[in-house]
Amino acid sequence: MGMVVLDSLYLYLASSFYWFKNQKSLFLTMVKPLSYIFSFFTALILLLSPSISAQSRSNIPVGNSLSAIINGSSWLSPSGDFAFGFHQYLNHTNLFLLAIWYAKIPDTIVWFANEGNPVPQGSSVTITTDEGLILSNPQGSNLWNTSSDLNGNVVSYGFMSDTGNMILTSSSDSNPVWQSFEHPTDTLLPTQVMNIEGAVDSRLSETNFTKGRYQLRLQTDGNAVLHVMDQTIYWADTRPYFASNTWNPPNQGKQVIYNVSGQMYVAAENGTAVYNFIPEDTVIVSSRDYYQRVTLSFYGLLTWYYHPRNFTNNEVGWSKMYSIIVNICNVGCGFNSICSYDDVAHSISCDCPSHYSLVDPTDKYGSCKPDFQLSEDDGKDGVFVEYNLVRLQNTKFDSDKCDKRFEGITEEQCKSSCLGDRFCAVATWVGDKDTCCKYKPLFSGGNHDRKVSETAWLKVGNGTYSTAPLITKEKTKLNTVVSVLLGGSVFVNLGLLMVGFFFIYRKKQLRSVKQPRKEYDNVHCFSYKVLEEATDGFKEELGRGAFGAVYKGVIGAGNYLTFVAVKKLDRISNNADKEFETEVNTIGKTHHKNLVRLVGFCKEGDQRLLVYEFMRNGSLADFLFGDHRPSWEARIKTSEGIARGLLYLHEECSTQIIHCDIKPQNILLDDHQNALIADFGIAKLMAQNQTHTTTAIRGTKGYVAPEWFKNKPVTLKVDVYSFGVILLEIICCRRSVCMDRIEEEEAILTDWAFDCYFSNRLDQLVNDDIEAISDIIRLKRFVKISLWCIQEDPSLRPSMRAVTQMLEGLVEVPAPPCPTSIASGTR
Annotated catalytic residues are 661
Answer whether the bond into residue 250 is a cis peptide, omega within 30°. yes
For residue 681, CA distances in Å to 655, 663, 699 come to: 10, 14, 13
Helix (H, G, I), strand (E, B) or coil at 825: helix
Bridge partners of residue 225, in order along the sequence: 217, 243
Pairing of strands 607-613, 562-569: antiparallel
Exposure on the CB side of residue 192, measured as CA atoms within 13 A = 29
Containing 514, the helix (H) or strand (E) segment is: helix 490-514
Give, in degrees to the nearest 5, the angle at Cα 588 between 473 and 213: 115
Rg of the Cα atoms in the chain: 32
Cα separation, 827 vs 815, in Å, equals 25
Nearest CA-CA partner of 57 in 160, 155, 180, 128: 160
CB atoms near residue 200 (< 10 Å): 22
Nearest CA-CA partner of 747 in 756, 739, 757: 739
Nearest CA-CA partner of 681 in 613, 756, 583, 609: 583
Helix (H, G, I), strand (E, B) or coil at 582: helix
Instruction: Assign 3-class secondary structure to 292-313.
Output: EEEEECCCCCEEEEEEECCCCC
DSSP string, 428-476: EEETTTTEEEEE-SS---EEE-TT---EEEEEEEEEEEES-HHHHHHHH
Q: Which residues contact 648 (CB under 8 A, 6 or more apart)?
A: 234, 590, 592, 594, 595
Nearest CA-CA partner of 144 in 157, 154, 133, 158: 133
Cα separation, 306 vs 283, in Å, equals 12
CB atoms near residue 547 (< 10 Å): 21
Say if residues 214 and 201 touch (Cβ distance below 8 Å): yes
Say if residues 60 and 158 touch (Cβ distance below 8 Å): yes
Q: Which residues contact 77 (CB under 8 A, 6 or more apart)?
A: 52, 57, 83, 103, 160, 161, 162, 164
Cα separation, 653 vs 630, in Å, equals 31
Q: Taking the chain, what is the end-to-end CA distance rounded to the nearest angstrom?
A: 67
Nearest CA-CA partner of 160 in 43, 299, 56: 56
Say if residues 733 and 772 touch (Cβ distance below 8 Å): no
Cα separation, 586 vs 681, in Å, equals 9
Helix (H, G, I), strand (E, B) or coil at 9: helix
Nearest CA-CA partner of 521 in 426, 591, 454: 591
For residue 597, CA distances in Å to 216, 584, 677 come to: 34, 12, 9
Output DSSP code: residue 737.
B
Residue type for position 43: A
The answer to the question of whether 364 is labelled as a binding residue is no
Give binding residues for ATP as ranges.
568
